[in-house]
Amino acid sequence: MPDQISNFMESSLEFSGSLGSSFSSTRSRYRTFKVVVIGDSGVGKTCLTHRLCAGEFPRRVEATIGVDFRERLLNVDGENIKLQLWDTAGQERFRKSMVQHYYRNVHAVLFVYDVTCPASFGSLTSWVEECRQNSLGHEVPRFLVGNKSDLRHPGGAGCQVNQERALSFARAHNMMFFQTSAKSPPRRDAVEDIVLSVGAKLKRQRRPPAVNPPAYSGSFKVQNKGKQTALMTCWP
Ligand SMILES: Nc1nc2c(ncn2[C@@H]2O[C@H](COP(=O)(O)OP(=O)(O)OP(=O)(O)O)[C@@H](O)[C@H]2O)c(=O)[nH]1
């Protein structure tokens, strides 16, 4: 990985710490948590994180190169929490030199698959294995998200991921399960359920929030609290 990218990644890892302290000089304090979003290319990680943070489906997306960052502020039972979502690249060529940075100091993982693409569901075992290889402990909360539920259609069972299978995968890997669409118009606050579940789970964790190194400098996509939307199921 080129030095400047490596430096950027290291800096960004520290960003939450430095931003946290700047917040402390104002009236609001936020506990910051790093949440990494992983899954095959094209499953909708960028659209989903955009929806979770900005409340809308992006008009145009391109394959993620390396990582994009988005943030969501929320209040859980009176405590201010900042989720720093790492939208990682699904394509191997855009991620291979950065993988170790994805998993450093991570507080939670969102595994995303496309409900209309069984191959992306089949890949989940590789994503779980990647977490293991990068020393992610079992104490790090994991969430499984089946995206693109708007494309589900009756009779398409063969080319869709069965929800029961997904649920049993989630149970076997101690994950909370959601099925959603980053694209659907707001019907229920289901996308919001993902954010709230992650926030609530992390709030209960007593692990220290992110690291605390030098001030961040560089470009960093930040999108604060916005409207939320779509989704449906949750386990347990
Ligand atoms: N119908 C539908 N399309 C979606 C949804 N989410 C994403 N898409 C589309 O799926 C394609 C891929 O979406 P991305 O968000 O770029 O996928 P990604 O997982 O970030 O891909 P990489 O950056 O390559 O890892 C785009 O054409 C999106 O418009 C969804 O919920 N429903």
The predicted pLDDT at position 16 comes to: 33
The predicted pLDDT at position 153 comes to: 84
Q: Which residue has the higher pLDDT, 8 or 219?
A: 8
State the closest ligand 1 atom to the C-alpha of 87, by its place in the atom list counted from 1.
20
- Residue of 59, 39, 52, 57 lying closest to 85 (CA atoms): 52
Q: What is the pTM of this model?
A: 0.82
Q: Pull the structure tokens for residue 93.
A: 């060529």
Ligand 1 mean position, distance from CA 91 (Å)? 13
143 has pLDDT over 90: yes
Q: Which residue has the higher pLDDT, 217 or 66?
A: 66
Average pLDDT over residues 109-127: 97
User: By percentage, how much of the chain surpasses pLDDT 70?
Assistant: 73
Separation CA 174–CA 22 (nearest Å): 35
Ligand 1 mean position, distance from CA 49 (Å)? 10
Provide the CB-side half-sphere exposure for 115 (13 A, CA): 26
Q: DSSP letter at 2? A: -
Residues, the chain, total? 236
* pLDDT category of residue 14 using cuts at 50, 70 and 90: very low
| Fold for the domain defined by 31-204 | Rossmann fold (3.40.50)
The predicted pLDDT at position 26 comes to: 44
Mean pLDDT value across the chain:
79
18 has pLDDT over 50: no
Average pLDDT over residues 153-175: 90
What is the b/e burial string over 19-41, where b = at least 16 CB atoms within 10 angstroms of the residue's CB?
bbeebeeeeeebbbbbbbbbbbb
Cα separation of the two ends of the chain? 40
Ligand 1 mean position, distance from CA 211 (Å)? 31
- Residue to mutate, 45, 47, 116, ligand 1, most ligand atoms under 8 Å from C-beta: 47
Separation CA 77–CA 26 (nearest Å): 20
